[in-house]
A and B are shown apart, each in its own frame.
Chain A
Amino acid sequence: MKKGGNDLHKLFGEIVYYVLIVFLTGFILFPIYWMVLSSFRPEVEMFGASPLFTVRFSTQNYALAVQEHKVGRAIFNSIIIAMGNLFLVMLVAVLSAYSLERLSPKTSLFLKLTTFVLRMMPPVAMALPLFLIFKKAMAISPYLQLMLAHMVFNVPISIWLVQGFVADIPKELEESAMIDGCSRTGALFRIVLPLIAPGLLVTAALVFLYAWNEFLFGVILSTEPTKPITVVMAGYIAATGGIRYGQMFATGTLTILPTMVFGLLARKYFVKGITLGAVKG
């Protein structure tokens, strides 16, 4: 009799557990699901329709967003800025991380200090001087301005990540190569880099993602033709004639596409990367 009661108790526990898990994932995913779903609704269906499914599936919002709000150009801008920033950040990060890990650990302390100080700063505090400085040096293209601006928060965390990857490689590998006549930089490029390639890829994805998702520097430093997609997204709220929800959701769905791709293609790295980024970023 007692054993039967115990089994029932366990089954009840199992059911509660799975219900909670489903509720949890549902709560987390629903808003995003709703946005993506609504992006496929014609504008008329936006008000008063069930949030769970759409009756009149339509892709007109995407077409309209591209036509009326220049979303295609915005995507192009975001790509340019993110790729350019990625190039600059990886260049600095790889060289610095290797140097810090293998060659000059004293500077590492300085790096940690600056990372800490940067953590104390609200991004707005950094945006202000950058805005003024770049506004004066108008010769630099807004693309370049944004590529540089995003380095502020991307470089420290990238160095930290890559340094971790380099530390995992036993230095005996490079040392034996150098005994055989290889130079230090040769060791870096021919031995270490190939070994940390997966780590570099994850770091690169994070850097790209951060630059792509960024809004504040984007809205302050970009001009009308160079607006990244995040700025266009924000523009819908203040648009004359009211908010075009359909197009806004379409733009939003496009904006989160890189995140989704990263998450789907490289699940394990996605989890690791985002959590590390959140801790150190």
Chain B
Amino acid sequence: MGKKKTHRIGEVLIVPYWTFFAVVVAIPLIYSFVLGFFKWNLTEGVPSSFVGISNYREILSPSSSLWGSLRVTGLYVLGAVSIEFMLGLGIALLLLRDRKVAHFVRGILLVPLATAPIVNAILWRSMYDPSVGPINYLLCLLGFPRISFLSDPLRALLSVIVVDVWITTPFVALVLLAALMSFPQDLVEASKVDGASSWQVFRYLTLPLLSRVISITLLIRSMDAFKTFEIIYSMTRGGPALATNVVSVDLYHIAFRYFKMGKAAAYSWVTISVLLIGTIFLTRYAMRKEEG
């Protein structure tokens, strides 16, 4: 009888969660999924019409903006995550040297991650500005010509990647640092006594032991980078010439600039699928590597 009573309370307590989930998550998602099969242009004032999978056809056709966005997003994720990991590892190794310093510095390093992304975006946009920004001020001081970072396609993509690196590298570094600190130090000592150089210790001992943490963090970071919106949209609106038009920004344009609601809904689900497939693929690949 006691068990039955416990079961009841459990069900009652969890009601708020189910309410939240149904109202704020499930209903919007189902609505969005259904909407993907309709054509609905909000600005024309015409009611929606059922069009089956024509939205999906349009999005997956060769001339669709999806492919360009995927390419840009891929470049962005690749560039940002690889730099973050290399720098992050370097910083982690640096911080490993003195725990007290590392402890003190941690809070400072995480500030960019904790400040509002919109502020970071606008702040860096201003930093890059030819007339107001300190970067160009420095260039001018050193005698170099001013550079307009955000108006050239390649430079804009790199500039945006720099911002993501600035925000997230400390986080990657701290995760790697935590993993490094949990190492059995005697293994390192033993191999050094056996004559291994620092580089050899790193390559054959440290890296393999870190590989699991690295894979998981890589996966999480790549997924998050794929979803980037606020930083890029606030800095470049996806330009110049679609050079920074990542998937989220493309989706935003379709929904809130062109107001093609049905197409945007379908696009959302294509994006979710891409992420899902990508994650499953990467997880499988990582697991296979671990076994091998």
Q: Which residues of A contact B (CB under 8 A)?
A: 17, 20-21, 24-25, 27-29, 31-32, 34-35, 46-48, 50-51, 88, 91-92, 95-96, 98-100, 102-104, 107, 111, 114, 118-133, 148-149, 151-152, 155, 159, 184-185, 209, 212-216, 220, 230, 233-234, 236-237, 245, 248-249, 252, 255-256, 259-260, 262-263, 267, 270-271, 274-275, 278-279
Flag if B117 contacts A124 (CB, 8 Å). Answer: no
B13 touches A98 (CB 8 A): yes
Interface size class of B (residues with CB under 8 A): 35 or more
| 4 interchain residue pairs of minimum CB distance | A103-B10, A51-B134, A125-B268, A129-B28
* Contact (A51, B137) CB under 8 Å given A28-B109, A31-B166: yes
Selected contact of A96 from candidates B17, B137, B264, CB within 8 Å? B17
Is A120 touching B279 in the complex (CB atoms < 8 A)? yes
A95 touches B27 (CB 8 A): no
A25 x B122 contact (CB < 8 A): no
A193 CB to closest chain B CB (Å) equals 13
Contact present for B116 and A215 (CB under 8 Å): yes
Contact check, A120 vs B116: say whether CB atoms are below 8 A apart. no
Q: Chain A residues near B127 (CB, 8 Å)?
A: 31, 34
Closest to B141 in A: A50
How far does the Cβ of B229 sit from chain A's closest Cβ, in whole Å?
Answer: 6
How far, in whole Å, are A128 and B115 apart by their CA atoms in the complex?
25
- Do B20 and A124 touch (CB < 8 A)? no
Q: What number of A-B contacts does a CB cutoff of 8 Å give?
A: 235
- 12 CB-based A-B contacts, threshold 8 Å: A17-B98, A28-B111, A120-B223, A125-B251, A126-B29, A128-B261, A151-B20, A151-B24, A237-B125, A263-B107, A270-B114, A279-B220
User: B105-158: which have CB < 8 Å to A?
Assistant: 105-120, 122-127, 131-132, 134, 137-138
By a CB distance below 8 angstroms, the chain A residues around B204 are: none
Interface window among B52-60, B170-178, B183-191:
B170-178
CB <8 Å contact, B10 and A99: yes
Q: How far is the CA of A152 from the CA of B23 in the complex (A)?
A: 10
B207 within 8 A of A: no
Task: Give chain A residues whose Cβ lies under 8 Å from the Cβ of B123.
Answer: 31-32, 34-35, 252
CB of B244 within 8 A of chain A? no
CB-based contact A124/B229 at 8 Å:
yes
Chain A neighbourhood of B214, CB < 8 A: none
Any chain A CB within 8 A of the CB of B21? yes
A152 vs B22: C-alpha distance when bound (angstroms): 11
Smallest CB–CB gap between A252 and chain B, Å?
5
Nearest-neighbor residue (CB-CB) of A266 within chain B:
B107
The answer, yes or no, to whether B71 is at the interface (CB within 8 Å) is no
Q: Which of A21, A100, A118, A220 contacts B256 (CB 8 A)?
A: A220
Q: Across the interface, do A152 and B24 meet the contact criterion of CB distance under 8 Å?
A: yes
Binds A, one of B74-82, B270-278, B284-292: B270-278
* Nearest CB in chain B: distance from A21 CB, A: 6
Please tell me which one of the listed residues B31, B108, B220, B272 contacts residue A132 in the complex, with CB atoms under 8 A apart: B31
Q: What is the bound-complex CA distance between A32 and B35, given in angstroms?
A: 42
Name the contact of B227 in the complex, choosing from A102, A104, A122, A213 (C-beta under 8 A): A122
Asked if B14 and A28 sit within 8 Å, CB to CB, the answer is no
A166 vs chain B, min Cβ distance (A): 12
User: Which one, B11, B137, B230, contacts A215 given CB within 8 A?
Assistant: B230
Question: Shortest distance in angstroms between A74's beta carbon and chain B's nearest beta carbon?
Answer: 12
Residues of B within 8 A of A96 (CB): 13-14, 16-17
Q: Which residues of B lie under 8 Å from residue A46 when comparing CB positions?
A: 132
Chain B residues near A151 (CB-CB < 8 A): 20, 24
Contact status A259-B132, CB under 8 Å: no
Judge whether B122 and A234 touch: CB under 8 Å: yes
Q: In the complex, are the beta carbons of B122 and A129 less than 8 A apart? A: no
Check if B247 is an interface residue, CB within 8 A of chain A.
Answer: yes
Q: How far in angstroms is the closest Cβ of chain A from B117?
A: 7
Report yes or no: B28 in contact with A133, Cβ–Cβ below 8 A.
yes
CB distance from A65 to the nearest CB of B (A): 14
Q: Are A32 and B111 in contact (CB under 8 A)?
A: yes
Task: Find out whether the CB atom of A252 lies under 8 angstroms from the CB atom of B122.
Answer: yes
Point out the residues of chain B lying under 8 angstroms from A279, CB to CB.
Answer: 175, 220
Extra A-B contacts (15), CB below 8 Å, given A234-B122, A248-B126, A252-B123: A17-B94, A29-B111, A95-B17, A96-B16, A104-B11, A120-B279, A128-B261, A128-B268, A151-B24, A184-B5, A213-B116, A215-B118, A256-B119, A259-B114, A279-B220
